């Protein structure tokens, strides 16, 4: 039975076996969601691509906003279905997703677009895109994900497994990706349904990948004693991946998504696959180490066993040499 948090404890600390529980359903749901996103792109490009030609701005905006919700809906839905044995509460997952979306719309986008006017200088050169993409865009967006998880769910009793850091961080990252896609649709007065579906999926896959890496560091810090630089290092790594990905994606797609968006989709799929595999391996390794250390600590101390003393005359009923000599003397 799990204990409940008390007034004198800052965070809830479940038992070791619970912390190191491996959620196979989460990883299976991630793979199924990747397949679902590919099907989503294929359907919109093969069946619905021409439909948008006869629609006005309002319907294109509406469909674009609706498409922006699909990646998050697929992942959250598949994860919850595959993790039925011990699922995260739906209201917690949706709450973190919504909080990530609100923080993106209220903090990240206004800061980047209005305060630092990122679009006016970011693409002036390779150097500005690299430095601005990592130090500004990457850090601001990943800091939002971190703050949402840290102050939205981190101390909650439902955050009771190492992998929960990954789960909730991805939910926050998908919330941010959804609002970024909303913002793109509204700024462009709607999107082409075929190409727009590719952009939506690329953005969602990318931010879910960065958030998953950051979430691993958050989960480790929640249940392990880590150095002070550990979480900042995780945030820096996620920000670096963020900036580098969109730099490479911009170069691969050419002048924009209207040139060759499929290269960006391929890059996003590779990125998501590598990040998912890396996080899975790291979580599994950490869980095994946690269980190994716990098992070693639980073993009782072996009793000190002293050697059995050898008697002077180990063979009974046989007189010693000295006794024999005494008997002969008496005779």
Domains of the chain, by residue range, sit at: 19-288
* Nearest partner of 184 among 169, 201, 171, judged by Cα: 201
Question: What's residue 217's pLDDT?
Answer: 97
Q: Which residue has the tokens 């590779």?
A: 270
Question: What's residue 252's pLDDT?
Answer: 87
Q: Mean pLDDT of residues grouped by 10 in the chain (331 residues)? A: 40 66 73 86 74 66 86 83 67 94 96 93 90 94 97 91 92 96 86 80 94 96 91 96 93 67 89 91 88 74 48 50 48 46
CB 147, CB 76: distance < 8 Å: no
Instruction: In whole angstroms, give the CA distance from residue 323 to residue 10.
Output: 78
Burial class (CB in 10 A: 0-12, 13-18, 19+), 151: exposed
The per-residue pLDDT for range 77-123, each reduced to its tens digit, is 877 766 655 667 788 999 999 999 999 999 999 999 999 999 899 98
Question: What's residue 160's pLDDT?
Answer: 85
The per-residue pLDDT for range 8-30, each reduced to its tens digit, is 344 555 667 667 666 777 777 78
Residue 36: both structure tokens together? 């679902």
Residues 6+ apart with CB under 8 A from 3: 12, 13, 14
Question: What's residue 1's pLDDT?
Answer: 35
Question: What's residue 288's pLDDT?
Answer: 87
Residues 6+ apart with CB under 8 A from 111: 140
């Amino acid at each position: 039975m799990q204990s409940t948090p008390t007034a004198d404890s800052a965070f809830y600390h479940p038992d070791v076996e619970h912390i190191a529980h491996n959620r196979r359903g989460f990883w299976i749901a991630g793979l199924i969601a990747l397949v679902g996103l590919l099907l989503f792109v294929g359907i919109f490009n093969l069946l619905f691509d021409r439909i948008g030609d006869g629609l006005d701005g309002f319907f294109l905006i509406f469909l674009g906003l609706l498409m922006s919700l699909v990646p998050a809906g697929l992942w959250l839905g598949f994860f919850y279905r595959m993790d039925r044995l011990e699922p995260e509460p739906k209201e917690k997952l949706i709450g973190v997703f919504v909080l990530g979306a609100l923080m993106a719309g209220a903090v990240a986008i206004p800061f980047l677009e209005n305060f630092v006017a990122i679009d006016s200088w970011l693409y002036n050169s390779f150097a500005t895109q690299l430095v601005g993409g990592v130090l500004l865009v990457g850090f601001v967006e990943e800091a939002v994900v971190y703050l949402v998880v840290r102050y939205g769910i981190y101390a909650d009793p439902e955050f009771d497994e190492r992998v929960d850091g990954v789960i909730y961080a991805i939910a926050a990252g998908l919330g941010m990706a959804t609002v970024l896609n909303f913002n793109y649709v509204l700024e462009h007065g709607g999107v082409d349904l075929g190409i727009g579906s590719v952009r939506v999926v690329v953005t969602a896959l990318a931010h879910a990948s960065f958030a998953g890496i950051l979430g691993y560091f958050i989960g480790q810090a929640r249940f392990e004693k880590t150095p002070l630089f550990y979480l900042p290092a995780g945030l820096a790594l996620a920000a670096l991946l963020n900036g580098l990905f969109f730099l490479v994606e911009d170069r691969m797609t050419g002048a924009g998504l209207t040139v060759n968006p499929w290269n960006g989709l391929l890059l996003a799929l590779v990125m998501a696959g590598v990040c998912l595999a890396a996080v899975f391996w790291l979580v599994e390794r950490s869980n095994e180490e946690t269980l190994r250390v716990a098992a070693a600590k639980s073993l009782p101390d072996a009793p000190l066993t002293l050697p059995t003393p050898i008697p002077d005359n180990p063979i009974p009923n046989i007189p010693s040499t000295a006794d024999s000599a005494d008997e002969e003397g008496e005779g």
